[in-house]
Amino acid sequence: MSGIAQQAAGFDGEVSGMSLTDLLQIKAMGRFSGRIVVEQGGQSGHLFFRDGDLVHAQLDHFEGKDAFARILAWGGGTFRAEPKVSTTRQTINESFQYLLLDALRLQDEIAAGMEQHAPASGTVQSQKGGGMKERLSGIAGLQDVALTDRGGTLLQSVGSNAEALAAQGMYLVATSNQIADELGLGSFKGAVVQGASGHIVTLEGAKNYLFVGVQGDAKPAAVEAEVRRALSSQG
Question: What are 137-158's pLDDT values in tens digits?
Answer: 778 888 888 888 877 888 888 8
Q: How many CB atoms within 10 Å of residue 169?
A: 25
Confidence (pLDDT) at 3: 36
34: pLDDT strictly greater than 50: yes
Higher pLDDT, 10 or 103: 103
> Of 211, 171, 218, nearest to 197 (Cα)?
218
Scored b (16 or more CB within 10 A) or e, 3-14 reads: eeeebeebbebe
Give the DSSP letter of residue 15: S
pLDDT over 90 percentage in the chain: 13
* Confidence band, pLDDT 50/70/90 cuts, at residue 16: very low
Q: Report whether 159 contacts 213 (CB < 8 A).
A: yes
* Confidence band, pLDDT 50/70/90 cuts, at residue 86: very high
Region class of 39: left (phi > 0), else alpha (psi between -120 and 50), else beta: beta
127: pLDDT strictly greater than 90: no
233: pLDDT strictly greater than 70: no
Considering the chain, what is the average pLDDT of its residues? 75
pTM of the model: 0.47
Delineate the domains of the chain, giving CATH numbers in brackets.
Answer: 10-93 (no CATH), 126-232 (3.30.450.30)
Identify how many contiguous H helices and E strands the chain contains and give both numbers: 6, 11
Higher pLDDT, 26 or 119: 26
Rg, Å, the chain Cα set: 18
Please give the torsion angle defined by the CA atoms of residues 68, 70, 74 and 78, in that order, rounded to the nearest 10 degrees: -50
Give the DSSP letter of residue 42: T
104: pLDDT strictly greater than 80: no
